[in-house]
Amino acid sequence: MTEEKIYRLTGIDSAIEMLRPSAKWEVTNSCFSRWDDDRPQPSMEEVKKVQQLAKEFEDKLDTIWTEEQRNSLGLQQTAIKKTMPK
């Protein structure tokens, strides 16, 4: 049985944190609806690029999860996949 990969770094929140640490923001319908930071907000293209780079990095890791961890992370993964670039 092939187990589905669990990604931890590919969410939009992780990508934005890597681009603009500690920025305050909100995204609605794939667009920034709030940006409270002195630095310029990243473009959604930049965010998607970071998400893709994070995925490529995680794909190289052979992470081993317990069944309990897999179960608790399952719902998070569904939400993360919705934000990933196609």
pLDDT in tens, 3-20: 678 888 999 999 999 999
Query: Is residue 18, in this structure, part of any structural domain at all?
Result: yes
Q: Tell me what pLDDT residue 1 has.
A: 41
Contact 27, 33 (CB under 8 A): yes
Residue 64 clears pLDDT 60, i.e. is over it: yes
Examine residue 58 and state whether it is found in any structural domain, yes or no.
Answer: yes
Q: Is residue 4 part of a domain?
A: no
Q: In this predicted structure, what is the pLDDT of residue 39?
A: 98
User: Quick check: 16 and 36 in contact, CB under 8 A?
Assistant: no
The reported pTM is: 0.76
Asked if residues 59 and 65 have their Cβ atoms less than 8 Å apart, the reply is: no
In-domain check, residue 5: no
For residue range 13-47, list pLDDT tens digits in order: 999 999 999 999 999 998 999 999 999 999 999 99
Instruction: State the total domains in the chain.
Output: 1
pLDDT of residue 59: 95
Q: Give the pLDDT of residue 4.
A: 79
Q: For residue 29, give its domain range.
A: 12-83
